[in-house]
């Protein structure tokens, strides 16, 4: 049993060895969290576990027993305001996405980064986001969007 975007979720016994990524995509039907590499190398599957960024492809479903998992679909609901999370809004303002496939993971990583460091420097962003690959090369706009979300855009 764990909490998935605020909903108590029961894991069938035979799936306890499945990855969190497979569970949320195949069983919960939440496909915003993406498979990119399956080895924790690209960040496309980034989710929050108890508020911290984690790689869903490297997390067994049994490891989140009793914990709170937030995916891109549940991110907006973690803020008090109606509508989008400030990071999602900043992504639209800065027109970040190209293909868009890595962006849910980038947004989840950025939201966790800003929670830990509300006023990141360029180098803080570069280092903090280095685990998330964007093959389209939206890195400069991601930096811009993170600054917008931090209120410095």
Q: List interacting residues with other proteins (CB under 8 A).
A: 15, 18, 22, 25-26, 29-39, 41-42, 44, 71-73, 76, 84, 88, 91-92, 95, 97-104, 107, 122, 125-127, 129-143
Residues whose CB is less than 8 angstroms from the CB of residue 112 and which lie 6 or more positions away in sequence, other chains included: 46, 48, 51, 52, 53
Which residue's CB is nearer to other proteins, number 2 or number 129? 129
Which residue's CB is nearer to other proteins, number 2 or number 109? 109
Which residue's CB is nearer to other proteins, number 78 or number 98? 98
Radius of gyration, CA atoms only, the chain: 15
- Smallest distance from the beta carbon of 143 to other proteins, in angstroms? 8
Cα dist from 87 to 67, 76, 93, 107, 151, whole Å: 23, 9, 10, 7, 10
- Smallest distance from the beta carbon of 70 to other proteins, in angstroms? 11
Which residue's CB is nearer to other proteins, number 51 or number 131? 131
Q: Which residue has the tokens 């998935």?
A: 4
């Amino acid at each position: 049993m764990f909490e998935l975007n605020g909903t108590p979720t029961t894991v069938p016994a035979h799936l306890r060895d499945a990855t969190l990524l497979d569970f949320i995509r195949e069983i919960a039907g939440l496909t915003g969290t993406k498979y990119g590499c399956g080895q924790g190398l690209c960040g496309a599957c980034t989710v929050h576990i108890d508020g911290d960024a984690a790689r869903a492809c490297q997390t067994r479903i049994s490891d989140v027993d009793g914990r709170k998992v937030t995916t891109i679909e549940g991110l907006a609901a973690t803020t008090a305001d109606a509508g989008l999370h400030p990071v999602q809004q900043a992504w639209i303002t800065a027109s970040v996405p190209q293909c868009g496939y890595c962006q849910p993971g980038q947004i989840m990583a950025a939201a966790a980064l800003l929670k830990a460091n509300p006023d990141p420097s360029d180098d803080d962003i570069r280092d903090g986001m280095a685990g998330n690959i964007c093959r389209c090369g939206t890195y400069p706009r991601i930096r811009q969007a993170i600054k917008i979300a931090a209120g410095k855009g």
